[in-house]
Each structure stands twice: as C-alpha cells, then as structure tokens.
Structure 1
C-alpha cells in the first residue's frame, strides 16, 4: 500500500487488483435480445403515454418499444436519436425511476415499470456499431460557434450540423463529453462509452472540435459574435460551492467533482488514493457517486451527510438505496460546523438541523464524525460571465443578440444530462429558424 502525501489516512492500493476490476463492472448489465423482447412485451403502448410526457426530450417511448418488440431495434434506435442524440448515455445515467419509469402505467398498477431505460440502452447499443443514421442537409454557408462540448453543446452542434450549418465546438478540457466524460460514476458508463458516443455523434460531419480552448482565456464572446453567425453557450458550472465551515483549507478536504473526474480519467484505479474514513457532504447525485466510488476503491467507512430531510435529497430514492447497498451510511438533517485537524483533516463536527417555515435552523446538539477525507458535493456555480451575459440564481439569465445558452449553465430546468440534451437541441432549432429567416 502506498501512502498519499495528503494525509496518513488517504492511501492507494487498498484492494487486490482483481477486486477493482470487479467493483467497477457495469452496475446494470445490458439486456440480451431475448430479455429485450420479453421486457418490451410488457409495454401497453399507451396512446397518451405518460412516460413520453415525463421524458425531457419527448422520445416516442411506446413507438421505440414496439419497434423492439417487432424485432427492429435499429428503427427503435433512430426513433430515440431523432429526439435525443445522446440516448445511449442517457439510458445509463438518467434517473428513469423518477422520470419515464416513475409514471409508467405498469409502475402505478403493479409497482414494476417497463424497463424503459434498459430497453433504450439495448436499442442504441445494438445500432451504434452499424454507423451514423443521419445525413446532413445541403450546406447553408452559415457558421455557428458552440462553447462547451458537454451534453447541451454536443446536442446543439449535432442538430445544427444535420440542418446544414458548419459548427466549431470549443472545449476547455482535453476531451469532449462534459459531465458524461468527467462527472458520472465509472460503473454507469464503462468501457469508454462516453467517448465512443461522442466519436459516433461526430460522424454526422460538419463539426470541428477544438479542445483546450477556454472562453475568457483564449477566446472572448465578442470575438465569437464577430466571427460566427450565432453562438451557443453550454459552458456548464465550473465552480464548486464551499461549505462555509471552518477548516476547509485543511489537507484532505476537496471537491467531489474533482474526485470523480480523476477517477474517470484514471487508467489504473489501484493508484487512486482514498481515505479510510470518508465523509461526503451533500445530497445530490454527485454526493452519491463520490460516496459509492469511495467504497469501491476500498474506503472502510463512508458517510453522506445532508442538511435536510431524506425527501428533499435531489438524489433519487433508487440512488440512495444503491449507496446504502454498497455500505454507505446516510445521515440527514445535519450541517457541517467545522473540519477538525491541525494540518490534515481528522474529523468533521456537525450540528443537527431543523427545517421549518423560516428556513433551516441549526440545533444546539452536535456530533463528530471521524474523517481523513472530506468531499464537498453541495452544488456548483458559474465562475465568470462573458461580457453582455447576466445571471440570475447563479445561472445565465440573459445574453446578447445572436447568443443562446443551455444546459447546467442556463436558468430553468433540472441539472440532468437528458435536460441538457433537450435544451441544446431546442436551441439549435431556434438558431436555425433565425439564421434561415423562418
């Protein structure tokens, strides 16, 4: 075991090599052809399907499931991609239990929905190796800049390329994909799927990808507006909210998003340091993903602490259950007061909370959790605004003429991959209408 320079309790190589491989296998294996046909046969093919209404991208779910049931999964995949070009990754990471499957008639009547997410994965996985199903329209001579190669930016770029426009995508990180590449649990997207899906998406043509280019550092919004006919901002949220508690500068305190990104980009999980006693502060998907993966890396004690009640956690009940099944403890109604330690984190002191009509209130009773690694997962924020762009509630609210925005950086909607795809796609249609004079 090799000790990390961060704290004595943080170390790499906690597990045998074969255990890392086993821990980070696909957590929900793909359906085979027979299983998919059986799962599809459970669908009632509702006329006014509530699942379709619940899908942010409005995929025609009854149609694609019927296409699977009749033995035409390639047609099913095209039905999915016509609305959600990132349908493969969404099938893996969407909280289907609170979206399409949560309102499925089978769920309401029997407590067991049609497995829409797994069927969507089956169709897209079946068809992706067969090539790209869409072709570009005749060139329009218009050029659009897309800033950010996350789900919103990629969806926007693809739809605009389909419509005949030429697209340049500027991405500050070495790889495209955004949170799909850097921000989700590895066991949800195995085998390099996120990058494979991007490569497949780019087969449409007409999209130039420029990595390592950051808005505000290498290019300005004013320059883009002068050079391109339209600009789409899908820049995500780069900043991480602080705890506003003492001791945040101690070694061993870090951001959950950075922890996940490092894990996602690692070629050897045995080299990743993790604490023996890990405390994750937050109540969303990032908190769950960081906590579960800490356990899978060999942490002995992992605790998620959330300041409000279980019902108010943004992580779904399904994800919370998954965390506890992996040995993660979840404590509700507690807020951090300080991280304890001299130079390195040793523990975290919390106060119990009460959520009343006047907001959250700290109670006098406190408790302490041993912690050699503390991960913040209490939300992200914009770190800077381009000239002419305004924010409201920490997200882009207004932008200058010829500038659109979507995804996590934009006001409205939930911070989900599928929502970002919908916003990017819809922005592309709006841009196309304006550029075409429609």
Structure 2
C-alpha cells in the first residue's frame, strides 16, 4: 500500500467540479431575515453584558441585536462598524465560540448561545451589499500618516485616521490589500471575493491611498517614512515561518502552510492545485486546521495533523478541532517531527512521542507523507524596526513603539492574541492616539 502511495505522488484534479464547489462553499450559510429575527429574539439584552467585555473591539452586542430585532439592520451595522470597521470579515472568521458566544448568558444557562457572529454578518452584509458607507470624513487636517501593511490592523488604523480628517498612504508589499483576510483565511470561511469587496467598501471614506508592492526595507525605509510623514503606523504582520529543526526539512514538497493557504486563496481553478495523497501538517493553531481541512477538501486521501502537546493545549478552538475531525483529519498529539525521509522529495515522516514536559520518550512513529506543511508559528522580519520585546515589537497600551511618532499593531506586536479582531482593535486604538498627538 505504501509503495502505491509513494508512486502516486502529488497530483491535481482529484475530485469532480461538484465536489470542489461543495467542499469550498460557505461554512456557515448567511441568515435570512426570518432566521435573523428568530435568533435576535433569543438575546436577553443584558445590561452588564459579558459578551461586550469578551469582544476585543468592545462592540455593543446587545444594542446591535436589539436593532436587528426591531427591523433596523443598517443601524445595527453602524453600531458594529463604529467599533470594528472590518466587522463583516470578523463575523466570518472570528472564533466567537471562544469569545462573545462562550460567555453568552444563554450559553452558560442552556449550552446554546445567541448566534452573535451570524447576526453580525447579517447586519454588516445588509449594509455593505447596498454599497452604503455609514461614516463621513471630517474636514482635512493637513496631516499625513504612513501605514505599513494593508492587513486588518493597517486598514482599521487607516480608516479611523481618514475619518478624522488625516490623509493616509498605505504601503503594501503584496499586489492585493487585505493581509491575512485576503491571503491567510480558509477559502470556505470567506468565499468569493468578499475580502476585496470589504476593502473597496472601506475605502469609500476617502483620503486613503494604497501603494502596492511597496515593502518596508526593500522599497521604502522607516527612516524615510518618518521624515516624509507626520506619523507612521506599522502593521507589518509576521513574514518569516519558524523552522521544524528536523533532519530532511529541506526536501521537496515540504512547505509553509501559510504559502499553501495563500496559493489556494488566489487560485482561479481549485482543480489545478496539486495535493498529495498522504498529507501531514505540523502545528496546532488555526493555520494548521485551515491547511488540514483544505488539504482534505482538495482530495488528499489521508491528512494527519501533528501537535506536540495535548488537544487541550491547541490554539485552535474545540470547534475548529471538531471541524477537522468531521472532515476526516486525523489528529496525533504529544509528538514532534525528528526526521523527514525520502530521496529528493519527502516520502515518510518520523515522529517521536513526548511527555508533558516536552521530553522525548524514545517511542517513534513513521508514516507515509508525500506532502508536509509547517504551521508552527511565524516570526517577525526584524531589520530596520523599532525596539523588540522578545520576538515582536515592543509597544505600550496605545500602540506607541520605542521610536517617536511610530506606532504599531497587529501580529507584529506581542499584545493580545493573533486574531483579526484583535488586530482591528489595535489599529483603531493606535489611530485615536495618533490623532491625539497630531492635533495636540
């Protein structure tokens, strides 16, 4: 059997067009009007709502659900977007099951929370599909701010600054804006071209210019930006992927999971993407789950996710783990890769089981693997950046770095979880502090 798998190798077009369309369809179908009203009716509209505290962007959740319940979804959308301008994407990708919905009174009492995420999507989609932008730009301030990175943090910062009357230029290294929303989210979570449609909608505020393929360190320097602009915001994300430190890591068909997801997100034809029969993903976070599930949806026969600790220590939520299991992904815990075997291309992976202290037990496992994806975290490209705190940028509570007139937010900082919603909150809050400094 192993010989057949090795000879089969990596191929494309394993499934029918119908199977690709079904597998990569919307994970959560949007609520219609009746469903939204029924879901909203379950909310207790708590005065001291724990869901607000659990939301990194402090959205007034009972308020927007009440507005949906009273038939004013556009007003609900404005309540959401005033705190989280990327509320549409966050409604799709935010792990609500571990944030607002986990502390919902209905969840605590009945084990079935109000569908906060889906209601947020209902409201924001209703507004954005009409092309409406609910905010007006203030009078021009005469100040100009550079934002590095058009990801969630950079976009949130740019929008708030533009709304306050400042001119913003975003320097983005890639051909498209959106950051992880465009390149790093599983295709079944954000279907179609929603990420770009949301950016286009956001830019309606005016006063924001995006310069694509303008990378910090390659095309522009931080010193030059500080000289040209009144303030700089860094939302550069994490560009380097951590190494496995396993023998044979340099073999063919051993890839970074983030590159695999990005390639899939930009593919015009899913059937053209080659996938192995025996795919192994190393890691335990959301990226690992996204890569594993999508490998299975592309037609991989056996997909195994390997994590060094127990399932209770995985960064991926229980919902994400269950989703992977429901798609046929095998999860192996308390194991680390020690070697990748094969003549040129990987053919097998050798794992060693470890104890709770991460010490090797001497017990090993070898399994077929014609494709291996690394999803063990990313690190910061550090050249030309302000002072670091460990492996990320050091910032204070307002997002200020060690350099005067330079702020930062998102995954490049060591503040909060590496989530889209957290990045949005940090970009928004940094923008408010930048505004305070610029206007005195």
User: What is the TM-score of this pair, normalised by structure 1?
Assistant: 0.97
Alpha-carbon offset, residue 249 of structure 1:
0.6
Matched residues in 2 for 1:132 and 1:317: separation?
A: 36
Q: Where in structure 2 are the equivalents of 1:9-408 lying within 5 Å?
A: 9-130=9-130, 131-356=132-357, 360-387=358-385, 389-397=386-394, 398-408=401-411
> 2:219 & 2:294 partners in 1: Cα distance?
34
Return the offset for 1:399: 3.1
2:436 to 408, 433, 436: 433
CA distance in 2, matches of 1:63, 1:9: 54
Shift of 1:413: 0.6
Separation in 2, partners of 1:60, 1:42: 16
Q: Does 1:417 align with 2:404?
A: no
How much does 1:385 deviate? Answer: 3.0
1:212-271: per-residue Cα shift (whole Å, max 9, x none)? Answer: 100001100000000000000000000000100011110010000000000000000000
Change (3 A) 1:410 1:212: same
- Contact 1:245 1:337 survives alignment (8 Å): yes
TM-score w.r.t. length of structure 2: 0.96
Report what 1:3 is aligned to.
none
Equivalent position SS for 1:12: coil
Deviation above 2 Å: which 4+ runs of structure 1? none
Query: Where in structure 2 are there 5+ consecutive unaligned residues?
Result: 1-5, 395-400
In 1, Cα distance between the equivalents of 2:29 and 2:431?
34
* Structure 1 residue 134 displacement after superposition: 0.4
Q: Distance in 1 between matches of 2:61 and 2:98?
A: 15
Q: CA deviation at 1:342?
A: 1.6
Give me the whole-angstrom Cα distance separating, in 1, the residues matched to 2:390 and 2:44: 41
Structure-2 separation of matches of 1:52 and 1:7? 54
Kept after mapping to 2: 8 A contact 1:349/1:368: yes
Separation in 2, partners of 1:302, 1:293 = 10
How many angstroms does 1:7 deviate by?
8.7
After TM superposition, give the deviation of residue 142 of structure 1 in Å. 0.1
How far residue 21 of structure 1 moved from its aligned partner, in angstroms, is 1.1
Deviations 1:367-416 (A, max 9, x none): 112100000000000122325x1212311114310000000001211000
Q: Is the 8 A contact 1:40 1:65 kept in 2?
A: yes
CA distance in 1, matches of 2:122, 2:392: 35
Unaligned runs of 5+ residues in structure 1 are 1-5
Q: CA deviation at 1:8?
A: 5.1
* Number of aligned positions between the proteins: 428
Partner of 2:398: none
